[in-house]
Structure 1
Amino acid sequence: MPAVSQAQQKAAGAALAARRGDTPKTKLKGASRSMADSMTEAGLRELAATPRKGKPEHKGDNGS
């Protein structure tokens, strides 16, 4: 399941870093905090690896 927006991809990257121990979980906010608790490392890795090119910043952005 690839990320649908740049914001989702960034949040997954932050959650993955916390799960791996690179960043303390206390530094996470919002979506990244809930992703770190509810998703597997493989799922986070898949979302974080999604290329950002061509993705909107947020899901609802339509580019205009």
Structure 2
Amino acid sequence: MPAKSKAQQMAAGAALSAKRGERKAGELQGASKSMYKSMSEKELQDMAATKRKGKPGHKH
């Protein structure tokens, strides 16, 4: 599932780094914390790998 905004992509990247053990899960906040708990590593990787060109900063 591709990210719909840059903010969503960045949150997915933060959650992915916590899943991989590169960052502490306790440091996550908001959307990234929710994504960490509810999504698999593969789903997070797909979302974080979305191309940024043409994406809005935030999805309204």
- Structure 1's unaligned 5+ residue stretches are none
Aligned residues: 60
Root-mean-square deviation (CA), in Å? 0.5
What TM-score does the superposition give when structure 2 sets the normalisation length? 0.97
State the alpha-carbon separation in 2 of the partners of residues 33 and 53 from structure 1: 25
Structure 1: 4+ residue segments shifted above 6 A: none
Larger Rg belongs to = 1
State the alpha-carbon separation in 2 of the partners of residues 35 and 2 from structure 1: 14
State the alpha-carbon separation in 2 of the partners of residues 22 and 4 from structure 1: 25
What TM-score does the superposition give when structure 1 sets the normalisation length? 0.91
Provide the secondary structure at the position in 1 that maps to 2:59: coil
- Aligned residue runs from structure 1 range 1-64, under 5 A: 1-60=1-60
1:17-51 per-position Cα deviation (integer Å, ceiling 9, x unaligned): 00000000011000000100100000000000001
State the alpha-carbon separation in 2 of the partners of residues 36 and 46 from structure 1: 14
